[in-house]
Structure 1
Amino acid sequence: MATAATHPAHVPEDLVVTLPLYARKRVDECPQETMIPQLQATLPPISYVTNIFPGDQPGWLLTSYEDTMKMLRDPDNFTKNGMGKWAQNIGEDWLVIPTEADPPIHTAYRAALNPKFAPQNMAAMRDQVRERAKVLIARFKDRGHCDFVDEFSEKYPINIVLDLLDLPQDRMAEFLTWEKEMLHTNDWEVRGNAVRKVKAYLMGVIEERQKNPGDDYISKIFDNEVDGRKWNVTEVFGHCFNLYIGGLDTVTSLLGNIFCYLGRYPERQRELRDKPGLIVTAVEEFLRAYAPVTAFRIAAKEIEIRGQKIMPGEYVSVATPVTGYDPTYYDSPEQVRFDRKAPHISLGGGIHKCLGMHLARMELQIAMEEFLGTLPEFRIKDGFKVQYFVGNIMHVPALELQW
């Protein structure tokens, strides 16, 4: 950790750090086993991190589960409006819906969307999701090895989102390129160009569905209501953009983290093979221990956290990879316990709890069931060196497995 040369006057010098955890590069050490426990052991509950936001921009890091949950339950003092700077980066002002919306309109958006992502509706997709997993695994199960990220974890959740939105599967490679340019870069020009490409593509689809509606999800969004009116095209786009960035990355990153762990520690696979009923709680434990995303809230007014002044407009982290290792909340957080049954904030909290959380959980559970039920015990491929990407979405860029 290194201190920064300059910082705002209200920020004490001893709270200013630059963290390797947000370097946005590949490293050889597993951050969940080294960087994060060290960070929890050495940092105070709140720090001013010079590189916490993409583009090496500053913000406040909260290491405490309780402090983060308190913030998540306080939308009056902490806004999400424009949080990701997606529209601002290209000189526009639309919102990612419902992620960047605040009450009271957020309440109306969620009222329209929650039923569509309710558990029973997601459960109706179970056979379709399982079939997607089976088809992908069948392509390499007899080969004795696979490139897990390229052959499974990137394609599997994206197949499902493209099915939901009725978008062409044959453009998956292009969609993946845009997604990586938006979410896995520190270059704001690259990020902005990718946002423009995604917007142009989605707007074209939306306009076509508006003219020729079908039975697909996008066509039905136009029936949603807010404030006594139908959603407009900008709102439909804002929601589709949310599904695009959420559905094409988070589950992929978490799957890579999970299967890297299982590949490095085959004995943990045996526990799940012997007791497959543990997979449901194991998914929750992996969500705690290998959460990929650091998101943010923005201070809506001058406030204090742990006695530290936070000024309006400053970013405050929802650092799920870090809060999952809070030793004041979790007993032995460095241990991955498949029967832990502890709460976590990896799928959000408060009014912004993840809209797609039931689908995400189902995708993760089915992936583990199908891999463990179809393949023999697997491990990291001989000679392959795992690298870990540290940043706002922590993941393994490549993962070679063999069995």
Structure 2
Amino acid sequence: MVPAHVPHARVVDFDIFDPPGVEQDYFAAWQALADGQGLVWTRSNGGHWIATRGDVVRALWMDADRLSSACLAVTPGLGEVMQFIPLQQDGAEHKAYRTPVMKGLASRFVVAMEPQVEAVARELCAGLRPRQACEFVADFAEILPLNIFLTMIDVPLEDRPRLRRLGAQLTRPDGSMTVEQLKQAADDYLWPFIEKRMAAPGEDLFSRILAEPVEGRPWTVEAARRMCRNLLFGGLDTVAAMIGMVALHLARHPQDQDLLRAQPDLIPAAADELMRRYPTVSVSRNAVADVAVDGVTIRAGDLVYLPSVLHNLDPACFDRPEEVDFARSLSPMRHTTLGAGAHRCVGAGLARMEVIVFLREWLAAIPRFALAPDQPVTMKGGNVGACTRLPLVWTA
């Protein structure tokens, strides 16, 4: 049922988890929704708004006073069950818990991790190079960032496949688990580690955060569970998806491979530009007050979906947005690939470093590569879109 305050002309049938054509092209599937209107209402997933013009996406993403992050996602019941800290908090409460998390992910810790990221990337490349082919998602993109994150929280690397499946259920649910089962699976896995960190902190990320007081108070067990649950899911999907899209671009544009190999000093700027060009993260917000925008009113209680792809690829927001230009003057804060405003991704610095290291190590180790001519690239939608299959080939 469409609410009375939603104009009929704004109603569409669009499932964010399965946009038409998404398996072939995530970005084209989303851009088909951008028809000049700033907001549309979809009947799918219980009914919610979707911001479809770049200026509206950005403005609503920044409006933390009237749009709350408590809902987490449009998936019914997910936010009420997960109760992430600090992602689902707002205002002063969000700031109080975000501060220890940001201290735990401070730049000095990210810099200290870089040699380890390099080592993992080199080991993967060394194993792949003689094969002259790989399925990049499974063979690299889902290994590098997950291994690094699991190392940061000091849990066994052999648990990666198990945790990867949980991460996919959060961002691209397939119905095989209820949200309650997903939360319970994460909590059952995390609790022994949390208990140990709270009793005897070590040098890992969870220990660093839990050692930081929250406005002068120690972490409670419940708050610690919610924070660790948040970071676990936050570290399982987004960077893997990002690296996959970057590799896809390079496979399609060998001249960009050649340029970055010849001028490796361009790699940091290239990482920023490629992250802008290939955004796959979307967030959900629930209105806590009426918001008048684009000629309609978002009523308190409505859900709003904000896709970064429709901001970053809007020609009114970025000049020639679909063109990759490594000389583009671009601040990572301008695009919304890693969020915007008060809820900008707490791991943004780590994510950027991992993309830079991937580019540097992969291009140094792997010869000019291309898409496998006889195997399709496949993609999937959801709160984090991604390549699900990316077959690459190269010659020795």
TM above 0.5, yes or no, is yes
CA-based RMSD: 2.2
Number of residue pairs aligned between Structure 1 and Structure 2: 391
User: What is the CA distance between 1:267 and its match in structure 2?
Assistant: 2.3
User: What is the CA distance between 1:298 and its match in structure 2?
Assistant: 1.2
Corresponding residue of 1:63: 52
Q: CA separation in 1, counterparts of 2:20 and 2:56?
A: 28
Q: 1:256 to 1:243 in 2, by over 3 A?
A: same
Corresponding residue of 1:19: 14
Sequence identity (%): 29
Q: CA separation in 1, counterparts of 2:179 and 2:378?
A: 23
User: What is the CA distance between 1:135 and its match in structure 2?
Assistant: 1.3
Alignment partner of 1:47 is 2:33: no
Gaps of 5+ in 2: none
Corresponding residue of 1:3: none
Q: CA separation in 1, counterparts of 2:225 and 2:168?
A: 20
Other structure's SS at 2:304 match: strand
The within-5 A match list for 1:66-77 is: 66-77=55-66
Q: CA separation in 1, counterparts of 2:238 and 2:9?
A: 33
Alignment partner of 1:35 is 2:29: yes
User: What is the CA distance between 1:363 and its match in structure 2?
Assistant: 0.3
Q: CA separation in 2, counterparts of 1:11 and 1:181?
A: 31
Alignment partner of 1:371 is 2:359: no
Whether the aligned pair in 2 keeps the contact of 1:26 and 1:387 (CA below 8 Å) is no
Other structure's SS at 1:172 match: helix
The residue type equivalent to 2:48 in the other structure is G
Kindly provide the CA deviation profile for residues 62-97 of structure 1, in whole angstroms up to 9, marking residues without a partner as x: 1333323322332211111242379944974x6212
The residue type equivalent to 2:68 in the other structure is T
Alignment partner of 1:10 is 2:5: yes
Kindly provide the CA deviation profile for residues 327-379 of structure 1, in whole angstroms up to 9, marking residues without a partner as x: 21111212122222332011111111111000000000100111111111001
Q: CA separation in 1, counterparts of 2:277 and 2:343?
A: 21
User: TM-score normalised to the size of structure 1?
Assistant: 0.90
Bigger Cα displacement from structure 2, 265-274 vs 63-72: 63-72
Gaps of 5+ in 1: 1-5
Kindly provide the CA deviation profile for residues 91-135 of structure 1, in whole angstroms up to 9, marking residues without a partner as x: 74x621211111111111122222222223211211111111111
User: TM-score normalised to the size of structure 2?
Assistant: 0.92
Whether the aligned pair in 2 keeps the contact of 1:149 and 1:397 (CA below 8 Å) is yes
Whether the aligned pair in 2 keeps the contact of 1:17 and 1:48 (CA below 8 Å) is yes
User: What is the CA distance between 1:182 and its match in structure 2?
Assistant: 2.5
The within-5 A match list for 1:1-400 is: 6-19=1-14, 22-23=17-18, 27-32=22-27, 34-40=28-34, 42-51=35-44, 56-84=45-73, 88-89=77-78, 92=81, 95-187=83-175, 189-342=177-330, 343-400=334-391
Q: CA separation in 2, counterparts of 1:230 and 1:26?
A: 49
Q: CA separation in 1, counterparts of 2:382 and 2:168?
A: 13
User: What is the CA distance between 1:189 and its match in structure 2?
Assistant: 4.0
Other structure's SS at 1:104 match: helix
Q: 1:37 to 1:338 in 2, by over 3 A?
A: farther
Bigger Cα displacement from structure 2, 346-355 vs 112-121: 112-121
Whether the aligned pair in 2 keeps the contact of 1:77 and 1:299 (CA below 8 Å) is yes
Q: CA separation in 2, counterparts of 1:139 and 1:365?
A: 20
Other structure's SS at 1:248 match: coil
Whether the aligned pair in 2 keeps the contact of 1:26 and 1:390 (CA below 8 Å) is no
The residue type equivalent to 1:77 in the other structure is R
